[in-house]
Amino acid sequence: MKIVQYTGLFAVLLIFQIVVLPFFSVFDIVPDAVLIGLIYLAIHQGGVAAMLTALAVGFFRDAFTSHFLGAYMLSYVVASFLAGVLLKFREKLSFQIQSMYLFIILFSFQLIYYSLFMLDQKLNLAQLIFRFSLPGALYTLVLVVITHFLLPRGFWR
């Protein structure tokens, strides 16, 4: 039953990411709702379930939105693995430490994705970090923190 629920949830998140969220872009930086869903899944169901889901969702997102097949798949799987590691320690960590770890996950996702996606663009590491990875991670982190306070039990509980 959970498989059907998660399939529906991620189908809605993928459509929301492709159709609605581009209207909320700030300087061409768009928050990633699918990544937030994968992190939530990893925290509540474990890293393996999130990584398998990330593989499927990443494939469909690459197929429908990208000319580089595999960038979202790899980035989502790595982010889901890192979020699964957070599952082991989430009870012991404060909200600030969890938020910092979440930022590391988001930054890693952005860095891996844009490193692969912009492979032919001749960007140096500073441009890759400060133009693409850091703003995207911060924007998505703000969305996660807002979501945390809007959910009745919070994002991490």
Q: Is residue 10 part of a domain?
A: no
Query: For residues 102 and 116, what is the distance between their CA atoms, to the nearest angstrom?
Result: 21
Residue 107 has pLDDT above 90, yes or no: yes
125 lies in a domain?
yes
Go through the chain and tell me how many residues it has.
Answer: 157
pLDDT of 1 above 70: no
Residues 6 or more apart whose CB falls under 8 angstroms from that of 77 comprise 51, 54, 55, 58
Residue 5 inside a domain? The answer is no
DSSP state of 27: T
Q: Do the domain assignments include residue 79? A: yes
Q: How many domains does the chain have?
A: 1
pTM for the predicted model, two decimal places: 0.86
Q: Is residue 91 part of a domain?
A: yes
Is residue 11 one of the residues assigned to a domain? Answer: no
What's the pLDDT at 98?
Answer: 80
Domain containing 145: what range? 33-150
pLDDT for 137: 92
In tens, the pLDDT along 10-49 reads 888 888 888 888 888 888 888 888 888 888 888 888 888 8
| E strand intervals along 5-150 | none
The phi, psi pair for 152, rounded to 5°, reads -60, -40
